[in-house]
Structures are given as C-alpha cells and as structure tokens.
Amino acid sequence: MKPFDLLSNAVRAKEIFTVLARHGFADLLNQIELPSGVWARFVPQPTTPRSSYERIRLAAEELGPTFVKAGQLLSMRPDLLPHPLVLELRKLQSSVQSVPFAEIKPLLVEELGCEPSDIFSEFNETPFAAASLAQVHFARLHDGREVAVKIQRPNIEKPVLADFELLAWLANQAHHRISRLTPFNLPSVVAELREGVLSELNFLNEARNQQYFNAINPHPDRVYAPAVMGEYCSERVLVMERIIGRSVDDDGIPPAERKLLAAHGAESLLHQVLIAGFFHADPHAGNVLVPADGRLCLLDWGLAGNLTHRLRLALADLLVAAVEQDAERIVEIAGELGSPSGGLDLRGMERDVTLALREDFNPQIGREQTGRALLKLIHILGRNGINISRDYSLMAKAVLSIEEVGRRLDPTFDLRTHARPVLRELHRNQMRPRTLWRDTRNLIRSSLTGIKELPGEVRRIVRRLERDDLTIKFQHQGLEEVDDALKTAANRITLGVIIGSLIVGSSLIITTRVTPTLFGYPALGMIGYLLSALLGLYVVWDIFRHGRHR
C-alpha cells in the first residue's frame, strides 16, 4: 500500500495498531517500523496471561467484520498456520448488532427494484439473525411461500476494502522486515483472503452454489440445500426457502434418528468430496438443521470447495494410506500433488506424519479423528514446503466439521465406516470400460499432439539460432537487501563528501576575514560549519536509528 493510502485511512490505521498493541503485539509493530506516535501512547500492556494464538483471536474479534471473516477463512488453511492457531481461529464468532430496518430498507428496495410489499405479503422487520456481513429477515411471498431474506449490511464493502488495504500494507512490511515470517508469504495470503471475502460479499455466488448442489445431489430425500428464488436474488440480497427445523444439538431427537442423520450427513459430504468434487466448505453444527421431515438441511453456501478428478483420486489414495498408517506413501502422494521446494527432508516429514497419525488416526487406542488428522497432515506438508491446493485445506476443514456434527448426533460415529462404500464407488467408476477408454483416448490424443508439434518447435529454435536471435534471460533473486545496503552506503558516502567539503570550504572562508562577520568571524564560514554539523548529526542519528547493518 502506498504511503498516502496509510494517511487516507489514518483513523482506522490507528485503531488497528492500538488493538494489536493492546493484545501484546507491540514488539511486532516495532519491527515493521510504523510511523512514530501512531499507537504507542494509547497502549496499556495486557494484564491477563494468554497464549499468543488466543490473543490473535481476541484482537480479530475486537477489530470487527473484516478481521473476523479473514480469521474464519484462515482457519481453513492448516498448510499456512500452526495447528493450535487453526483451532483457535475456529472459535471466531461474529457478534454484531443488527442494522435497523429503516437503514437497510433503501438497499433492499434498490436491489429488488421495487418496494418489498410488491413481492412480499408479509415481511418481519426484526432480523432473525445478524452476522458481520449480512442479516436475515423472515418473509412470505404473495403465493404463500415462506422465505428467508439475507440482506447485506449497508456500505460494508468500502470499509472492508480499506481494511484489506491496511492488511496488505502490514503484510508487506512484515514480509520484508521480519525474516521468520518471510516463508509464509503474507502478501499472497492477504490477497487470497481479500478474494475470498469479496466473493462472499456477492450473494449470487452463494445462490449458484445452492442451486448446483441441489442439481447434482443424488439423495435429496436425505440431505438438501434451501431452494433459491433466483428471480429475486442479486449481489446484495438473497431470497431462499425458509427452513424450520431443530439444531443437531437438540436432545429431543430420538437416538435411532440421530444415528441415521449422522450417517446421512457423512455419506453426503464424502460423496460431495470424492465423487462430485463440489462440497460445502463449512458444515459445522450452526449450518446444519433437521426439519420435521427428518432430512438434513445444509445452510450458508457462501464458501464451497472444488476438487478436480485427479485431486479426488489422490485424496482417496491419501485416505487409504492414512488408514494403513503408511507415512511414506502419504509424503509421496503429497509431493506429486503439491509444489515442493528444494532440499526437502523426506525422512523428517515421514516421522512427523507418523506421529500425527498415531495421535489422531489410531484405531488401536480409540483415536479416529479423520478431520483433525488431515488438518495436521496438511500443516506438516505446508511447513516443509509442499504447497497443497487450497481446496484440499477446505476439504480437511469440512471433514473435521462433519465429523464433529456426526459425533454430536452419534457418540459411536466412525467416519471410516461411511467412507468405505464411497471409496469403492469412486474406484468402480474409475475402472469402468467407458472411463478407461476415455482416459486412453485422451492420452493418445495429447501424445499425438505433442509429437506433431515437436518438429515445428525444433525448427523455430534452429531458425532463431541461425538469426542470432536466441536469448536466455537470467533473473537474480534475493538481492533486494544487498541493493538496499549499497544504496544506503552510497548515500552516506555522498553525505560524508558534502560534509567534508563544507568543513574545508568554511575553514578557507574563515581565514579570509571577509564581511559580514558573526561573533568576529565571517558569517558565510560560520553557516558552513553549522550545516556540516547538522548533516553530521543526521548521519550519526540515522546509523543508530537503523543499526549498523543499514
């Protein structure tokens, strides 16, 4: 972010810096060299001893909607964050006051293109629920259908964009000035978060996700998403079927029904992930309702994951390797999927993977937490430079959520039991003659295309060699600090030469006794001495301010 952007958001910037410092991150702010006096004088030191991960969560909750939503999205990236921080960020809740209907009605009228009474015979102006980005009102259409109307909070986009500008500036400063944070590539993380939050601000994405799931769902009699009234939806208003049902935590659901619901939820999610490649990314207990007809309804489709056919097959192999406690095979599959950096410690990774499996995926000691094990595995691989697809992280988070919901419904719930038939279906589909013929045909087509293009590529290279037109570009990386050091040294040498010249010139003028005089000495010489002294003090101050390495 450019300097004037920091100034244009000065009030919000001061608030962010103050909250971060109040939660014990003053040393971090010092390291990125913020403008002096921006936050320090407003900051009491934290008095309650808390872990750094808990302080991060509390700071995000205090900073408001953008940071809460960013934290919730980060909780789905175990490849980027330590496992304890991921678990802490999962606790983030959007606790906000609802917007009075008088303030939100102009936005509703603008998006609908008419007065609400033209579409709804009844509209409850008291919101049923309020979140950081939107709130939900219940209404009834003129044809009698009961609906839920999700309305975006007015003027939310501008402060969200301003917050992300500040976050991008902070991330860039931390990335370049704090060496231990450089491997995490914070600027790209913030850019990804910004894209995710802006995507959730467009309610048409959520509407499309719900419609697509209902279209491909093989068991609508067991699990479904609310129907969407597409003609009334826009980027800031979503009108969908109102779902009246019980929470999965409701003790009034009979044990037999709870067991059946847990099975249906697990089988549906596994089918979404492994067969369809399109899945609900956050099916936690708050997003699952049990209507009177005994089905499961999945709410809040603002975030969905997508897995290609290749990724789904690799995931199936990964699950099989995890069941067999085969750490070597897991590392091998991850290396094929990700973008490994050089110098990987494969043996060290295998050791870490083995320990993670023993802790969270070990039937011998009764620990069979598939989702938690997947989160740990992805973090281990990411920590070792293997960047797994973002959708894999979403998948691990979704598995963890549905596993927790399953255990709330049925204490004896075992995800592996429900995974086996879905894995068999996946492999059966893979071995069908039609699938084998399609894969063979694609392989032959791509091979023939490459063979046909090869002579032309060789001719182009030879022609460029004949014309002396072949160039090879080299790019030096990691020399930014050296470049900065050379510039700083050159500036100081230049200042030293100027100071020395001023001293010599002033001394010569002093000996001439020319007028006007100051304290009996030539004034021009005295001014030269004063300027050289000021410049010398500035150089000394700059050296002490930045340290000898600068």
- Residue 382 CB coordination number (10 Å): 21
| β-strands 223-224, 296-298 pairing | parallel
Contact 511, 525 (CB under 8 A): no
Distances (CA, A) of 156 to 58, 350, 408, 529: 22, 46, 35, 58
In angstroms, the CA 357 to CA 179 distance is 31
523, 517 contact by CB (below 8 A): yes
Ramachandran angles phi, psi of 220, nearest 5° = -65, -15
Q: Which of 59, 55, 23, 61 is nearest to 42 (CA)?
A: 23
> What is d(CA 379, CA 350) in angstroms, rounded to the nearest whole number?
13
pLDDT for 477 equals 62
Q: Give residue for tokens 């870490």.
A: 352
367-395 pLDDT, tens per residue? 667 777 887 787 787 777 676 777 777 78
What is the distance between the alpha carbons of residues 527 and 518, in angstroms, rounded to a whole number? 9
Q: In what order do the strands lie in the sheet with 296-298?
A: 223-224, 296-298, 288-291, 245-247
CA neighbours within 13 Å on the CB side: how many for 320? 16
3-state secondary structure of 41: helix
Residue-by-residue DSSP string for 334-374: HHHHS-PPSS--HHHHHHHHHHHHHHHEEGGGTEE-HHHHH
CA 382 to mean position of chain CA atoms: 14
Taking Cα atoms as reference points, which of 209, 271, 224, 249 lies closest to residue 399?
A: 271
Give the integer Cα–Cα distance in Å for 10 and 214: 46
pLDDT of residue 549: 45
pTM passes above 0.75: no
Angle in degrees, CA 337, 308, 445, rounded to 5? 90
For helices 346-360 and 370-383, angle between their N-to-C axes, nearest 10 degrees: 160
C-alpha 326 chain-centroid distance: 30
Helices (H), 49-185: 52-63, 65-74, 83-89, 101-112, 157-177
Kindly give the confidence (pLDDT) of every residue in the chain, 550 residues in length, as a single tens digit, with 9 standing for 90 and above: 444 455 556 667 667 767 766 666 665 665 555 554 444 444 455 555 667 778 778 877 777 777 887 787 777 666 567 777 777 877 776 556 788 999 999 999 999 999 999 999 999 999 998 887 889 999 999 999 999 999 998 988 888 888 888 888 777 777 777 666 666 667 777 887 788 788 888 999 999 999 999 999 999 999 999 999 999 999 999 999 999 999 888 888 899 999 999 999 999 999 998 889 899 988 888 889 999 998 999 998 988 888 888 888 888 888 888 777 788 888 888 777 766 655 567 777 888 888 888 877 766 665 667 777 887 787 787 777 676 777 777 788 788 888 888 888 888 888 888 888 887 877 776 676 776 676 677 767 777 777 877 787 788 877 777 777 767 776 666 566 667 777 778 877 888 888 888 888 888 777 777 778 777 777 787 888 888 888 888 888 877 766 554 4
Strand partners, 304: 280
Cα gap 370→318, rounded to integer Å = 11
Q: How far apart are CA 513 and CA 528, in angstroms?
A: 15
Tokens (6 digits) for 493: 């040498």
CB 317 within 8 A of CB 336: no
Looking at residue 22, the DSSP 8-state letter turns out to be I
Token pair belonging to 286: 């708050």
Of 271, 302, 303, 300, the residue nearest 285 (C-alpha): 300
pLDDT in the model for residue 375: 75
Task: List, for residues 218-274, the tens digit of each pLDDT value.
Answer: 999 999 999 999 999 999 999 999 999 998 888 888 999 999 999 999 999 999 988
Return the number of other C-beta atoms located less than 10 Å from residue 414's C-beta. Answer: 16
Tokens of 411: 């204490």
| Cα–Cα distance, 162 to 164 (Å, whole number) | 5
Tokens of 497: 């030469």
CA dihedral sign of residues 6, 12, 15, 21: negative
Instruction: Determine the 3-state secondary structure of 74 from DSSP.
Output: helix
Q: Are 398 and 279 in contact (CB under 8 A)?
A: yes
Structure tokens at 458: 């060789």
- pLDDT computed for residue 39 by the predictor: 45
For residue 518, list its beta bridge partners: 521
Measured distance CA(175)–CA(115) in Å, rounded: 49
pLDDT of residue 474: 66
The residues, any chain, with a CB within 8 Å of residue 225's CB and separated by 6 or more, are 209, 210, 213, 214, 217, 297, 298, 299, 301
189 Cβ contact partners less than 8 Å away, ≥ 6 residues apart: 74, 77, 80, 171
* Joined tokens for residue 146: 């009961």
Distance from chain centroid for Cα 536 = 47
